[in-house]
Structure 1
Amino acid sequence: MDEFQVIETPAAFDEAVRRLRDGEGPIAVDAERASGFRYSQRAYLIQMFRRGSGTFLFDPPQIPDFSALQDAIRSEEWVLHAASQDLACLREVGLDPERIFDTELAARLLGMPRVGLASVVEELLDIKLAKEHSASDWSTRPLPQSWLKYAALDVELLVDVRERLGARLEEDGKAELAAEEFDAVLHRAAKPPAAEPWRRLSGIHAMRSPRNLAVARELWLSRDALATELDVAPGRLVPDASLLAVARTLPSTRRALADLREFNGRASRTELDRWWGAVERGLATTDLPQVRVPSDAPPPPRAWAARHPEADARLRLAKAAVTEVAEQMNMPVENLLTPDHLRRVAWTPPAETTAEAIGEALRALGAREWQVAATSQRIAVAFVEAAQSVEDATSDAS
């Protein structure tokens, strides 16, 4: 078996930069994080492959400056699988492409039934790709050879996959719309930080008391501070379910907290003073959270029929029309048009029910030109039919 070397010295890095610069064609790129183990989402290994250059495994914690690599390959096409998952950690070390080809997104646009890398490789190249290390702790040092082999294979086959997918996109007449999608992924703005990130606690939506929510908030904030300090995934310290168990129970003493059987996790007792302090703050605060968080999003569609019958009719008929277009184009409906975009336009339609007005509304929400071209006319027709159906139903009732 080939011995894989991790690039962690200035000399090895400079040689890798030179060879990647002198290679041919697109550059396959992947990154491995330690999600589920570390708090940060930083890259702990970055893999690259280019024909005529070879495969390179970079150790980001040991490389203080990636600018020479960025300068050498910035203008080339980078091939990534599910690029949105890796772009942030690549940018964190200064690696940012000018153009990309996303093999997972291409597979979706082609209507492939399974779009994971192993499935795509098997279908296109007839090669079985083992994924046994995908959930490993990539902050481990030294990295085992079996892990490095797995990481190298992830990029060594990507250029071949890109070529097969590119040919299929051309055959299906989807090359231009795919380019729009790749560009949208590359330039999509990062989501702003959540105003109340503690509300991401799994299961918290069932909690209806402001006091219980206040305790949950303080526990989450305390856990998050400790996780940041230790660079450990929060759930590995104390699981969400344990924090919610405390918030539901509202123990009145430190001893009652310690005796709570549902409160477990490796830091549940070693950091008991921290958790008890959080409980005390939650019990004492006058800054109680709202149970319902104001939102500009439409209500859940299941409530539309009672609250807004015409919007409900618009959404039902437009969904059926968009689904039909997606089937004709052989792609998932969510790739043809983001479901939230359709819900928002159906709930608050433009003043004029025309394809042009619908298209402008969709563009304002972030839809791409090809999506507008494929759906706006069908949505406009569905909205007109919806208005007529509601009018007819009203006339019949009277």
Structure 2
Amino acid sequence: MAEYELIEKASDLKALCRHLEKERVVAFDTEADSFYHYFDKTCLIQVADRKKNWLIDPLALGGATELAPLAPIFASPDIRKIFHAAEYDIYILKRDFGFEFMNLFDTMVSAQLLGYPSVGLAALAERHFDVSLPKDEQRSDWSVRPLTGNQLSYAAADVVYLCRLADKLERELRKAKRLDWAYEEFAALTRRAWPAREFDKLGYLKIKGARGLDPESLAALRELFLMRDARARKLDRPPFKVLGNRALLEIAQRRPETEESLGQIKGVTDLILRRMGRDLLAAVAKGAKKSHGPIPKTAGGSRRRMDRRTERRLEILKRWRTERSTALAMDPGVFAPNSALEAVAWKNPDSAEELTELVELKGWFIREFGAEVVEALHRGAAEAKDKPRS
């Protein structure tokens, strides 16, 4: 069981930060409550140096002003911050407290670049330290106070091994000549900015099965989707905890007119019927009065339709990716995501220099493999030209 010190007072946080400012490597993790609340927030910040662990309680301390002593730690180029799967942690820490980051190390990204078959923290801890991290609090509501001893121990365990794990992975990256790749990935994470979260009024079109509905049912689904979000906001609960997508879709398909017929739909419990029955029926009725027009072209992020030549280039690139990623023992999607290959296929570059114009490609990928990509395209084009037509 991981030992820890709980930080709930401003004076204790300031003392901790004075200590951390002297360290060269500090591990961090966070716990949030998005599984339980519509308006999610950072509920716990776990911290560890090479000897000790701390759990910072933002809810006890207050808000961004009270957490400000951490800002110089995160922004310092002289202190390496270790995270595992840092993207979400950085997102909520920037959003909730306005922190900026420099000198990051992500153990999950490192494991991905090294081609590990399993890159979860539990798998890495077991592989490198022969320990089993607890999993029993993964679905905890971290906004509830007081936190239990089991929750706190679980949270502390997530940072106990991070500093040592980063040491091991850095050595492996250096040996594999992929350390520069990793540093570039880490730097990109620190610079990333996220737009403010906005409700997507066309989100109902992303529900599985929505695009197969007739116009009347699609109009009903639209109104049900809007009603559910409004209720989720009011209750501060995630929409899926108000009513699941499957039930939402079936209500839209059947378009019930009475509570009795509504209650026959799977997922519409007696409790939901009592609390939301009238609102659900009202949404269905509203949809009947407001017909659904053609699906907007922008819904779901429409993509350009490839012509045959571009499709052929994409096929060539995917074959090259399979061969190269296999040789590197890397996941193909990590090595070169589909979005990157599609961008190259559209670009049809004549030289590796042209690849620098594509924001979808990482700098390390262009430096190491840009010439190979162009050569593969040229070779594929030549083979297609020489191939006799049937």
What is the TM-score when the length of structure 1 is the normalising length? 0.87
Pick from 112, 119, 136: which aligns with 1:115? 119
1:388 equivalenced with 2:382 (yes/no): yes
| CA distance 1:41–1:328, change in 2 (3 Å) | farther
CA contact (8 A) 1:242 1:262 kept: yes
CA contact (8 A) 1:44 1:59 kept: yes
| CA distance 1:45–1:332, change in 2 (3 Å) | same
| C-alpha displacement of 1:39 | 1.7
CA contact (8 A) 2:213 2:253 kept: no
Amino acid at match of 2:35: G
Sequence identity percentage: 27
Corresponding residue number in structure 1 for 2:208: 203
1:50 equivalenced with 2:49 (yes/no): yes
| CA distance 1:10–1:200, change in 2 (3 Å) | farther
| C-alpha displacement of 1:118 | 0.7
1:297 equivalenced with 2:303 (yes/no): yes
Distance in 2 of aligned mates of 1:29 and 1:149: 15
Instruction: Let me know the Cα RMSD of the aligned residues.
Output: 2.5
Structure 1, unmatched stretches of 5+, are: none
Corresponding residue number in structure 2 for 1:88: 91
Corresponding residue number in structure 2 for 1:230: 235
Structure 2, unmatched stretches of 5+, are: none
Amino acid at match of 1:60: P
- Number of residue equivalences: 381
Pick from 173, 180, 193: which aligns with 1:176? 180
3-state DSSP of counterpart to 2:42: coil
Render the CA deviation track for 1:254-286: whole Å, top value 9, x for unaligned.
435533322515534312222222222222114
1:69 equivalenced with 2:70 (yes/no): yes
Correspondences of 1:150-299 after superposition (within 5 Å): 150-190=154-194, 193=198, 195-199=200-204, 201-251=206-256, 253-255=257-259, 258-265=262-269, 266-286=271-291, 288=293, 290=295, 293=298, 295-299=301-305
Distance in 1 of aligned mates of 2:297 and 2:74: 48
| C-alpha displacement of 1:116 | 0.3
1:41 equivalenced with 2:47 (yes/no): no
| CA distance 1:129–1:198, change in 2 (3 Å) | same
| C-alpha displacement of 1:201 | 4.9
Corresponding residue number in structure 2 for 1:324: 323
Render the CA deviation track for 1:280-328: whole Å, top value 9, x for unaligned.
22221145351765645245xxxx7xxx332232122211112222233
CA contact (8 A) 2:30 2:45 kept: yes
What is the TM-score when the length of structure 2 is the normalising length? 0.88
Amino acid at match of 2:352: A
CA contact (8 A) 1:215 1:281 kept: yes
Corresponding residue number in structure 1 for 2:347: 349
Corresponding residue number in structure 2 for 1:335: 334
Correspondences of 1:369-388 after superposition (within 5 Å): 369-388=363-382
CA contact (8 A) 1:218 1:278 kept: yes
Distance in 2 of aligned mates of 1:210 and 1:5: 58
| C-alpha displacement of 1:379 | 2.3
3-state DSSP of counterpart to 1:224: helix
Which stretch of structure 1 is more off in the superposition, 192-201 or 225-234? 192-201
Which stretch of structure 1 is more off in the superposition, 63-72 or 236-245? 63-72
| CA distance 1:339–1:194, change in 2 (3 Å) | farther
